[in-house]
């Protein structure tokens, strides 16, 4: 059996970060994913898919994701149910994400140019991503450093390091 989903879409609003009574971080957001066809009026339609992240991944998403940002989500579909205040059974279908990729930088979503940026964050103990960038708290500090800030000094590279 297999329960795996990969989605690419844009956030409909900023993620909501909450904590369980035991202190575990959980973030919820909705991803708008375009359908691969147009409707009767020739307009594109979209599905609005609820996504949930847990622990460090939840905190990372809350810190870096914003409304409108293009994002890839990898995880599993979960269906849960509960009884509401009126005594009716309510079913909720959502994606439990264990890997989130930020497909563009904050500069691009705010209208500015800039370089394309892709960052991946994984979370949860059942993630099979091999560790990845799990819990990378230095994301913003390391990502803003200029790799060419060596003040014009020559770079020492041997011929063995060159791919050609």
CA distance 59 to 142: 18
State the DSSP string of 31-63: EEEEEEEE-TTS-EEEEEEEEEEEHHHHHHHHH
Q: How confident is the model at residue 164 (pLDDT cuts 50, 70, 90)?
A: low
pLDDT at 102 over 80: yes
CA distance 8 to 163: 33
Question: pLDDT tens-digit profile of 21-63?
Answer: 999 999 999 999 998 887 788 888 899 999 999 999 999 999 9
d(CA 38, CA 16): 31
Cβ distance 15 to 28 under 8 Å?
A: yes
Provide the 3-class DSSP secondary structure of residue 132.
coil
Non-local (6+) Cβ contacts of 127 within 8 A are 98, 99, 134
Average per-residue pLDDT for the chain: 77
Q: Could you tell me the domains of the chain? A: 5-35+45-126 (2.40.50.140)
Please tell me the least confidently modeled range out of 44-48, 65-69, 110-114, 158-162: 110-114
Residue 161's SS3 state is: helix
Task: Say what the pTM is.
Answer: 0.64
């Amino acid at each position: 059996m297999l329960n795996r989903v990969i989605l690419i879409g844009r956030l409909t609003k900023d993620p909501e970060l909450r904590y369980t009574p035991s202190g575990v971080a959980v973030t919820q957001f909705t991803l708008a994913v375009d359908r691969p066809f147009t409707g009767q009026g020739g307009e594109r339609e979209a599905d609005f898919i609820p996504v949930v992240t847990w622990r460090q991944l939840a905190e990372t998403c809350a810190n870096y994701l914003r409304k409108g940002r293009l994002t890839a989500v990898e995880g599993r579909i979960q269906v849960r149910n509960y009884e509401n205040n009126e005594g009716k059974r309510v079913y909720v279908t959502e994606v439990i994400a264990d890997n989130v990729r930020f497909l563009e930088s904050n500069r691009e979503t705010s209208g500015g140019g800039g370089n394309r940026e892709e960052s991946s964050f994984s979370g949860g103990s059942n993630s099979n991503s091999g560790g990845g960038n799990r819990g990378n708290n230095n994301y913003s500090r390391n990502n803003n450093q200029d790799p060419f800030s060596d003040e014009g000094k020559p770079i020492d590279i041997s011929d063995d390091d060159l791919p050609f």
